[in-house]
Chains A and B, each alone.
Chain A
Amino acid sequence: MAGLAASLGSGAMTNDIAGIKEADVIMIIGSDTTAAHPVIAARIKQAVREGKTKIIVIDPKQIDIAKFSEIYVAQRPGTDVAVINCLMQVIIKNGWEAKDYIKERLEGFEELKAEVLKPKYSPENIEKISGIPAASLIQIAEMFAKAETAAVFYAMGITQHTTGTDNVWSVANLQMLCGNLGKPGGGVNPLRGQSNVQGACDMGGLPNVYPGYQKVGDPAVQEKFEKAWGKKLSPKVGITITEMIDGAYDGKVKAIYVMGENPYLSDPDQNHVITALEKTEFLVVQDMFITETAEFADVILPAAAYAEKEGHFTNTERRVQRLQQAVNPPLDVKTDWEIIQLIANAMGSDWNYQSVADITSEINLLTPQYGGITWDRVGRLGLQWPCPTETHPGTPYLHKDRFARGLGLLKGIEFKEPNELPDEEFPFILTTGRVLQQFHTGTMSRKTQGLNNLAGPMIMISAADADKLGIENSEKVRLSTRRGEIEAPAFVTRRISQGVIYVPFHYKEAPANRLTNPAIDPVAKIPEYKVCAAKLEKIS
């Protein structure tokens, strides 16, 4: 999100789901859309089926949606900046860029040109770096740039790298260069992975911003919140999740309050996380279940499920939608906001929310983008932010006539290799992700036996590598990295490139994040889940 916020002025998905059918070309890079966002995948496939839209898929795995693509290519994991710079070089050299749009709406074109026109980004050279044939790179550049409207869809395949911010900025560069921002069907579209990850960000569940991305440390913002909340607030930017774990490990963080998260399985380098959780002096976990993280807790507080409460989720297209209570929570289980209010008051404070709607009203007051998304206005089908006033209709796509930051900022991004590359001892590239039938750390999905019957732990390897090591399909194999090892059945396929291994991260019995590299992007602080060096062994 940091890359988009800096280049465009707003870090959210720019366009809406309904607009997908307006695109002439859609590039899907770093998103296994049918597995992780199946209904958006359906909308994209519909657009292809209707004949208007063509899709380009760039992914190390030949993912399901590649079947519908005009062009499918596999890049070596971690080479996205190189690939996108190459596409931009081809576009600029052929004069396919959106010249008027660049003149009127962007800045930084000369700086971008200086970087991407370097000979190292030539298709021939990038073929050597990424594994994508030079001819395909040229074909993709032409098809993408010549489209009237082209969209890019991506997910964690772009962001979970030590160069995550660079990757995102590169996607934004490409879309600005081709004039695809600020119109229906175009845009830079990061698909958010969890039901309310957009809302958690919007509501200031981040160490550097208050609700509505109002910056911590900005004196005017601080004054606004101090006035509204009647208390002095800290001007110091806080620490991120990976820094919290490190802080607990180092003994600087003494207490952690975890609401509905499971860092034991979701954070990189599990052994490090375990030690950090053990060292935490006081750990409170608020959840529906005794999660793997909750095993380490000093106090566990039982919380209600989605179907047991009211409130709002904000989806990936910035649509705020109403949750309605369908069933009662088990006796003695409370909703998260009630629990937080109880703790605040037991600490000596003065909270007095009578209902969820009371909180919604405070959000409307303090969050400019949500100003007009009141309890009474949301309706059955929701409203898309920004929606600053009660008469505003909501915003299906961003940056219509101007960017949130004024001019869109193009920036030359230099390609950097991932933090950990294969070597003699660890010759494979391990990349991680999701499968269709499971979700995140499995706290919810793994309670449905049918889903478990459909999708258990696996280590996906190429048929060529399986042949070389004498590994049969479904045979249990051992996968290790510098941080640990797991064992799981091999899933042998021709859909993954030789030398690349894929492991879903949902399973506590074969946790991918025991293996992953905790190296983080310096700006976004996101760990490099998508590339690390690994060793694969036959067990017997």
Chain B
Amino acid sequence: MKIMINGKSYQASPSETVLQVALRNGIYIPHLCYHQRTGPAAKCRACVVQVEGMNGLQTSCNLSVRDNMKVITDSPAVKAAQKMVVDLALSTGKHDCLACEQNGDCELQDAAYYLGIEHPSYQVEIPDYPLDDSSEFIYVERDKCISCGRCVVGCNQNVVNEVINFAYRGFETKIVFDQDLPMGTSSCVQCGECVQLCPVGALIDKRARGKGRPWNLEKIETVCPYCGVGCKLELHVDTLKNEIIRIKGVEDSPTNEGMLCVKGRYGFDFVHSPERLTKPMIKENGQLREAEWDEAINLVASRFNEIIEKHGSDSVAGLASAKVTNEENFVFQKFMRREVGTNNVDHCARL
């Protein structure tokens, strides 16, 4: 089917919403509570549009497309309504961008930019919630929360850990962990799903703070090194420093659909650990000493050759690895079979 947006015709499929068709075609409509993985909530009302034949403005995130639907996203009336919503969100929290971790990757900032809001118009006393830094990996700054509810949906419907919810009423509404416990003492397992879904700087990766602006970090997709689920990771890397700053889940991966666990998301310190080996080592008189590659490789090769010569190929055994790539395992077993001449190759599949 086809729909018209701002006078132009676009292809659409019946399962799509107006917001999805617009975003897919590069037409920005401000949206704060909608996320592709939490679905439409129609709560924030920043995504309102005008539809021919319908009374009043419509939230585009939960509006299914119909054939020949005519949608306007940028009329003065639409933009005034969107502006009011975003202005109120900006006025009711501590949205100071300068040192905010989310600056440059903030959806509230994007909406304000699009609508040309320089300063919030309303003077509202902000609740001044204490920072919650009780958890190992996640930092909670409730004054930045816009109550979009994505973290609540993510925690309850995506990872189904059932820790986060809204509590209290009206202006006092806030997200809580269990029975309003500090995050670190709640039943939260710190998978970071809420951090990944948060559109603003209310839930952030504690250890990444101050370590790099989003636009300075290169994003590279790879695979998690821990269990066998094979979650796809997006590594955010400071290439000049040669350092991984944070990790997110790849949202369209069929294995993890953006979700990760506490190890996959936060357990990457080993890559940059000062304990990493940086030189080959050779044991002499019971002590390990550093060596150059040539010396180490030649020693290994000559000792293998000697032992094969003296005791036969089957006196040598090799352990391949469940933690290295297919290509590396392939050449390892080829080495054992072709060069050493034995099938004594195994790995810890059973352990």
Contact = CB atoms under 8 A, between A and B. Distances in A.
Contacts of B166: none
Contacts of A198: 228
A290 B315 contact: no
Contacts of B263: 436-439, 445, 451
A248 B235 CA distance: 41
A252 B332 contact: no
A238 B242 contact: no
A204 B330 contact: yes
Contacts of A503: none
Given A159-B350, A241-B350, A437-B263, A252 B315 contact: yes
A252 B304 CA distance: 15
B159 interface: yes
Contact of A301 (B220, B255, B256, B296): B296
B343 interface: yes
A40 to B, nearest CB: 5
A260 B228 CA distance: 16
B256 A39 contact: yes
A438 B261 CA distance: 11
Interface stretch (B18-26, B91-99, B122-130, B276-284): B276-284
Nearest to A349: B339
B231 interface: yes
Given A255-B316, A315-B255, A205 B277 contact: no
B303 A450 contact: no
Contacts of B225: 195, 305-306, 444
Contacts of B339: 343-344, 347, 349
B345 A207 contact: yes
Contacts of B231: 39
Contacts of B335: 340, 343-344
Interface stretch (B4-12, B49-57, B266-274): B266-274
A288 interface: yes
Contacts of B226: 194-195, 439, 444-445
A203 B326 contact: yes
A136 B218 CA distance: 54
Contacts of B239: 327
B111 interface: no
Contacts of B221: 322, 324, 380
A526 B331 CA distance: 25
Contact of B330 (A211, A260, A380): A211
B21 to A, nearest CB: 23
A257 B230 contact: no
B228 A259 contact: no
B163 to A, nearest CB: 12
Interface in A339-353: 339-344, 346-349, 353
B307 interface: yes
A205 B254 CA distance: 27
A206 B266 contact: no
A36 B350 CA distance: 15
Contacts, number: 455
A436 B344 contact: no
Contacts of B268: 307, 448
Interface string A271-311: 00000000001101001111000000111111101111111
A257 B304 CA distance: 9
Interface stretch (B73-81, B141-149, B317-325): B317-325
Contacts of A321: 223, 230, 232, 255
Given A255-B303, A311-B327, A527-B351, A305 B346 contact: no
Contacts of B282: 298-299
B300 A260 contact: no
Contact of A299 (B270, B296, B328, B330): B296
B125 to A, nearest CB: 35
Contacts of A289: 270, 273, 275-277
A114 interface: no
Contact of B280 (A238, A241, A302): A302
Contact of B346 (A239, A347, A356): A239
Given A42-B160, A234-B337, A330-B278, A259 B346 contact: no
Given A253-B315, A327-B237, A337-B327, A229 B296 contact: no
A233 B340 CA distance: 10
A335 interface: yes
Interface in B292-312: 293, 296-305, 307, 311
Nearest to A46: B160
A305 B161 CA distance: 31
* Smallest CB-CB A-B distances: 3 pairs: A315-B230, A311-B325, A192-B228
Interface of A: 1, 17-18, 36-40, 42, 45-46, 48-49, 68, 159-160, 191-208, 210-211, 216, 225, 229, 231-234, 236-242, 244, 247-248, 252-261, 263, 266-267, 281-282, 284, 287-290, 297-303, 305-317, 319-328, 330-337, 339-344, 346-349, 353, 356, 359-360, 362-363, 380-382, 436-440, 443-445, 447-451, 453-454, 524-527, 529
Interface of B: 136-137, 157-160, 189-191, 207, 218, 220-232, 235, 237, 239, 242-244, 250, 252-256, 259-264, 266-271, 273, 275-283, 288, 293, 296-305, 307, 311, 313-339, 341-351
Given A17-B255, A205-B320, A238-B345, 19 more contacts: A68-B160, A234-B314, A238-B317, A256-B317, A257-B317, A257-B318, A302-B280, A306-B225, A306-B323, A314-B326, A316-B229, A343-B297, A343-B301, A343-B304, A344-B339, A353-B331, A381-B252, A381-B253, A447-B269
